[in-house]
C-alpha cells in the first residue's frame, strides 16, 4: 500500500507570496491532518479534514487554510507569507486507530 505523499518536497518563496501544498493520503483513509514543525515550536497542529469537511482546527491565523477533495486528497494554502512561516509542513492521514505521516514539504520564506 502506498504511503502518504506530499508535493512539492521543497519550496522557496518570498515574503508576501502565497503557497499551496498538496497531500495524497493512504488509500482508504478519509482523514487528513496538517502540521507545522519548527525547531523552536515543535509539531503544531494546523487543521484536520474528514470527508471534505474541516473537523478540527489549531490556533493559526486565517492566512492558513485548507481543503479536501472528494478523493480525500488535500491542499493547504498559506497566503501573505511571512519569514516565520519557514518550516516543515507535514501531512498525515488517519484511520480510526492511528495516523501516518508523509515526508513533508520544507518551505523556506526569504
Partner 1 sequence: QKEVEQDPGPLSVPEGAIVSLNCTYSNSAFQYFMWYRQYSRKGPELLMYTYSSGNKEDGRFTAQVDKSSKYISLFIRDSQPSDSATYLCASFYSSASKIIFGSGTRLSIRP
C-alpha distances out from residue 79 to 11, 26, 29, 68, Å = 14, 27, 28, 18
Interaction site with partner 1 (CB under 8 A)? 31, 33, 42-43, 45, 48, 50, 55-56, 88, 90, 94-104, 106
User: Which residue, 50 or 79, has its beta carbon nearer to partner 1?
Assistant: 50
Longest Cα–Cα distance in the chain = 39
User: Which residue, 10 or 62, has its beta carbon nearer to partner 1?
Assistant: 10
As measured in angstroms, the least distance from the Cβ of 91 to partner 1 is: 9
As measured in angstroms, the least distance from the Cβ of 16 to partner 1 is: 26
DSSP 39: T
Nine-digit cell at 46? Answer: 494546523
As measured in angstroms, the least distance from the Cβ of 108 to partner 1 is: 12
As measured in angstroms, the least distance from the Cβ of 56 to partner 1 is: 5
Compute φ and ψ for 84, nearest 5 degrees: -70, -5
**Rounded distance between C-alpha atoms, residue 76 and residue 87, angstroms:** 14
User: Which residue, 27 or 80, has its beta carbon nearer to partner 1?
Assistant: 27
β-partners of residue 54 are 49
User: Which residue, 86 or 103, has its beta carbon nearer to partner 1?
Assistant: 103
Amino acid at each position: 500500500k502506498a504511503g502518504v505523499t506530499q508535493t512539492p518536497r521543497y519550496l522557496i518563496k518570498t515574503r508576501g507570496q502565497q503557497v499551496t501544498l498538496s497531500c495524497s493520503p493512504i488509500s482508504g483513509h478519509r482523514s487528513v491532518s496538517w502540521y507545522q514543525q519548527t525547531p523552536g515550536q515543535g509539531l503544531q497542529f494546523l487543521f484536520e479534514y474528514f470527508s471534505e469537511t474541516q473537523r478540527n482546527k489549531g490556533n493559526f491565523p486565517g492566512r492558513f487554510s485548507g481543503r479536501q477533495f472528494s478523493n480525500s486528497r488535500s491542499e493547504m494554502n498559506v497566503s501573505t507569507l511571512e519569514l516565520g512561516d519557514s518550516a516543515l509542513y507535514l501531512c498525515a492521514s488517519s484511520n480510526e486507530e492511528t495516523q501516518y505521516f508523509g515526508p513533508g514539504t520544507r518551505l523556506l520564506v526569504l
